[in-house]
Amino acid sequence: MPLPSSIDVAVIGAGAAGLGAAHALKRAGRSFVVLEARDRAGGRGHTITAAPGIPFDLGCGWLHSADHNAFVKIAGQLDFEIDKTLPPWRDRIAVNKAFPAKDRADFIRSLDEFFDRIEEAAKGGVDQPANLYLEAGNRWNPMIDAVSSYINGCETDRLSILDFDAYEDTNLNWRVRRGYGALMAAYGATLPLVFNCAVTLIDHSGKRLRIETSQGTLAADKAIITVPTNLIAREALRFHPALPEKVDAAANLPLGLADKVMLALDDAEQLPIDGNLRGATMRSEMGTYHLRPFGQACVEGFFGGRFAQGLEDAGDGAFAAQAIDEIVSFLGNDFRRKLKPLKESRWAHDPFARGSYSHARPGHAGKRAILAAPVDGRLFFAGEATSPNFFSTAHGAHDSGERAVKEVMAKSSST
């Protein structure tokens, strides 16, 4: 749709938070528009076709805490099939002679004990870097760092223990057969969306907001801002008057990095459906591999943190090359001819994200509440980084959008 000249509420961003906010505004009968810099809805939720019959979620792919996840109900409403197969994490179905069962069990025990130490330390209320709770000399510490990079987007030295402990996980994780990103795109299909419309400035100095975009200027009474923290921190989106407390909060809730690669797999029946593959590498520079997701003839690889950043910086194809070399080292040279690169993500180089999902820097767990706080009764903030307990998830982002609309409505009723 074309950019209107005036609107009641402008929603900045059509990711999960923006879509959640937009649907809440629609139910409330408010006049609104969603301004999206990309040419699609979904934000960091994006499904592509890696190969015929193989959907690939470049971003979020799991319905975390499915029993509390709004997208489960949304999937039912939009006739998207949900797969309730258990995830291949924690070596549920492990394939790798290079990582014997005894070693895998010892690693899982060390990982759980690390999490237990963080939980106990967090009870004291003093924020510290998570790496302080690694057991000195434990041979699995580098692999624990690698796991942190997958789940937090960063290694343990960059991770706040209070923030990590605040995350709520019911350990029920499902998938969307056609793709989580495809579900978000369908969820946004009935909304008033303006694509290719990057917002660069929100001027809140006057009676109404003046919103400058790549397609022109829009006047609005209120705005719900859902853009990723890295863009606020870099001031790709600016405010006038400036909001230094928001910029500081965003900078201390940076988007970590988690990237994926999809490989085609010949002779797929040699490997189990929904299997897990990783090696006892004793280093943090490693991938982890989901074998034959949904029974497909493919392997999905995951990389995080500094290692993912280095592979992104190396250019297109670096993830695939690394994944193939690593899988071959585990399973043998025969697999080199069986694996073919398909697609890979590069979220740090995405100009409208600059990362994957937020974590709090040590000492800054309280910045989520600061980022979420409304300004002047006209600027409202949403996004996964503003969620106190479900940050780093699409459903946390969605729920934050609904929360922001409740704040909008409460302010409207009081004026």
- Predicted confidence at residue 412, as pLDDT, reads 78
- Predicted confidence at residue 97, as pLDDT, reads 76
DSSP character for 281? -
pLDDT means per 10 residues, the chain with 415 residues, are 93 98 97 98 98 97 97 98 90 72 92 98 98 97 96 98 97 97 98 98 98 98 98 98 98 98 96 90 90 96 98 98 96 96 98 98 98 98 98 98 97 70
- Predicted confidence at residue 282, as pLDDT, reads 78
* Residue tagged 């500094």 (tokens): 306
- Predicted confidence at residue 131, as pLDDT, reads 98
- Predicted confidence at residue 288, as pLDDT, reads 94
Contact 322, 302 (CB under 8 A): no
Query: Distance between CA atoms of 253 and 233, rounded to whole angstroms?
Result: 9
- Specify the domain boundaries for CATH 3.50.50.60 within the chain: 6-44+180-254+358-409
Domain spanning 6-44+180-254+358-409 has what CATH number? 3.50.50.60
Contact 3, 31 (CB under 8 A): no
User: Which CATH architecture best describes the domain 88-172+258-346?
Assistant: Alpha-Beta Complex (3.90)
- Predicted confidence at residue 415, as pLDDT, reads 57
- Specify the domain boundaries for CATH 3.90.660.10 within the chain: 88-172+258-346
- Predicted confidence at residue 92, as pLDDT, reads 61
Both tokens of 385, joined, read 């980084």
